[in-house]
Structure 1
Amino acid sequence: MPAPEAGDLRDGQVLLRSLAGGICGSDAPDFRGLRAPLVAPGRCLGAPGLPGFPMHEVAGEVVASRDASLAPGTRVVGWADSADAIAEYVVTAGAGLAECDAALEPTVAVLLQPLACVLSAVDRLGPLAGADVAVLGQGPIGVLFSHVIKERGARRVTGVDVVDRGDVAGLFGVDDAVHGATGRWAVQLADDRRPGVVVEAIGHQTATLGDAIDAVAPSGLIHYFGIPEEHPYALDMWKFLRKQLTMQAGTTLERRRYLQAAGRHLAEHPFLAERYVTHTYGVGDVQAAYECADVPAEGRLKVAVSLA
């Protein structure tokens, strides 16, 4: 395909040479072909119309820039706006990128993007000192939530997953690692064990949001993380009302600020660079990389793809 060039850039955009990408759970529906492409005038955003789709987590080198804060030659990490990072060159907004430590391997640096998203979400949870928090799902996003929430002073962090995460639960700050379905765990909770905050970090279905409503303590808070696969989500409004609950959701708005915060967090917690990315593939094996990322499994957290 014709490569984008410096002349294609608009104000605020940069041209990246892609070095690595991370596979996110929100890429899975597109990989499986379950979501309709996003149609814009004159083009189709989505497979098979857009080369490099579907990957939005990218680490790369700035080749050309119309963002005054990002000079050519800068190593950066962040978002590929059109989710087209499986490509040699990508045009994206500079505001969704931040300079990263050039000493980091690109396949490690990609962890800063999901970490930035989690830091943004946890900030919205408010003070957590002394709180009891449950994180539903202990995959790549769930373990980051558990880690950051524990670092913010939570008294007890419960991690729930159908995959046995006992090998990494303690490392990421989980006090109670529950190996089982969220629905079964929720209905068996005693009232004095109900968490005041529940993070739903599983996605891909509506049932687990209902499990969060069942599990959380009265007057509690639920944070729904991720991009829903279905637009309308049914929930038990009677339980929600009677328990006086609050629910929040959203995306990362201040991308560069949180990417920079993620860089500082990684410097303070270097174990993340060693333990978070568990599987790395070359771009020639990108199909195998997505197949690996698409199936939760013991010992598998983040899957990265080397694009260089």
Structure 2
Amino acid sequence: MTGPYSFEAVDVPAPVPDDLADGQVLLRVLAGGLCGSDGPFYRGAANPWTSSNDPVPGFPMHEVVGEVVASRTAEHKVGDRVVGWATGLDGLQEMITTEGASVHAYDTSLRPAEAVGLQPLACVIYAVERLGDVSGKHCAVIGQGPIGVLFSHVLKSAGAHKVTGIDRIDRRDVLGAFGVDDPVFLSSDEWVRRLTDDDDRPEVVVEAVGHQVSTLAHAIEAVRPEGRILYFGIPDDRIYPLDMEKMLRKHLTLISGSTLQRRRVLSAADEYVKAHPGLINSLVTHEFKADAAAEAYRTAFTPKAGQFKVVITMSD
């Protein structure tokens, strides 16, 4: 990425096995997925992991599937096909090094472009674990993009009595496949205004949009007293104002955090997809080749009906 909205192909020296530190693997990248957290960088936000103004090859992409070319960890051997994190956020390359603890050898019955979906699913599984027991609960998910629909599916599978999915885009033709019982096609503030009493209010709200302050405020307003809020979306601002009076008077619990125990939850995602074989086919809707990266990013960050996960394939 050479600047906002712009990409070009460049040649750089390939990493080699001697470059690996203990615990790392060298991957030939097969496919990568575009995540909402890549969006600010695509639109021009500075890369916080480098002090240089020069473009970083392969940035921004962290959801990857690849083949192990060399390994300095006992958990992975040469030839393994793995899915997980490009820990340098540089996955839009033919070859990368990454941490072995951040990738998992997946069921290769999935094509690489499909297996990419295991990475965001692992994040969602970990987050829902942190929510605790949701069985019998009314859960709402603000945002029904690729992450939001995975939350809807996992919450329903975890025993949620009712899942409400809130999104501006009308996706009623597909949301049933993701466990959404009550699709709401409104902005989150308009949805909150239409909640008339506590019986309408969810006991659990997942904020799956991020990148601005208002949706967290709407989650706090919407949730039932003694409810739980999971803030999953990535913050663009370091400081978020909270209505602490409402948090206190409603006895609310706010949960946030990034994904830990990555290999464990990637394995759990692999098993989850085996139990729900249609999920990945519903999730991955658009595939592009690497030479169409600009079109892939433009598509991913221009949401519309019929579109969820956008994937770039580096190799067949």
Which residues of 2 match residues 94-133 of structure 1 at below 5 A? 94-133=100-139
What is the letter of the counterpart of residue 23 of structure 2? Answer: G
**Superimposed CA distance per residue, residues 10-39 of structure 1 (whole angstroms, 9 cap, x where no aligned partner):** 000000000000000000011111234323
Q: Which runs of 5+ in 1 are unaligned?
A: none
State the match for 1:90 in structure 2.
96
State the match for 1:196 in structure 2.
203
Q: Distance in 2 between matches of 1:154 and 1:68?
A: 39
Find 2:309's aligned residue among 298, 302, 307.
302
- Whether the 8 Å contact between 2:177 and 2:282 is mirrored in structure 1 is no
State the match for 1:259 in structure 2.
266
Deviation, 1:305, is 0.3
Deviation, 1:190, is 2.1
Deviation, 1:226, is 2.9
What is the letter of the counterpart of residue 87 of structure 2? Answer: D
Deviation, 1:103, is 2.5
Which residues of 2 match residues 144-163 of structure 1 at below 5 A? 144-163=150-169
Q: Identity percentage over the alignment?
A: 53
TM-score under structure 2 length normalisation = 0.94
TM-score under structure 1 length normalisation = 0.96
Q: Which runs of 5+ in 2 are unaligned?
A: 1-11
Which residues of 2 match residues 179-194 of structure 1 at below 5 A? 179-191=185-197, 192-194=199-201
What is the letter of the counterpart of residue 290 of structure 2? Answer: V
What is the letter of the counterpart of residue 158 of structure 1? Answer: T
Find 2:276's aligned residue among 262, 269, 276.
269
Q: Distance in 2 between matches of 1:185 and 1:9?
A: 50
Find 1:33's aligned residue among 40, 44, 60.
44
State the match for 1:2 in structure 2.
13
Q: Distance in 2 between matches of 1:70 and 1:164?
A: 43
State the match for 1:79 in structure 2.
85
Find 1:61's aligned residue among 49, 53, 67.
67
Q: Distance in 2 between matches of 1:235 and 1:307?
A: 42
**Superimposed CA distance per residue, residues 59-106 of structure 1 (whole angstroms, 9 cap, x where no aligned partner):** 000000001110000000000001100001000000000001222111
Deviation, 1:245, is 0.9
Deviation, 1:49, is 3.4
Question: Is 1:166 matched with 2:177?
Answer: no
State the match for 1:235 in structure 2.
242
The count of residues paired between Structure 1 and Structure 2 equals 303
State the match for 1:221 in structure 2.
228
What is the letter of the counterpart of residue 181 of structure 1? Answer: S
Q: Distance in 2 between matches of 1:133 and 1:273?
A: 22
**Superimposed CA distance per residue, residues 204-224 of structure 1 (whole angstroms, 9 cap, x where no aligned partner):** 110000100110001111000
What is the letter of the counterpart of residue 25 of structure 1? Answer: G
Deviation, 1:238, is 1.8
State the match for 2:218 in structure 1.
211
Segments of 4+ in structure 1 off by > 4 A?
none
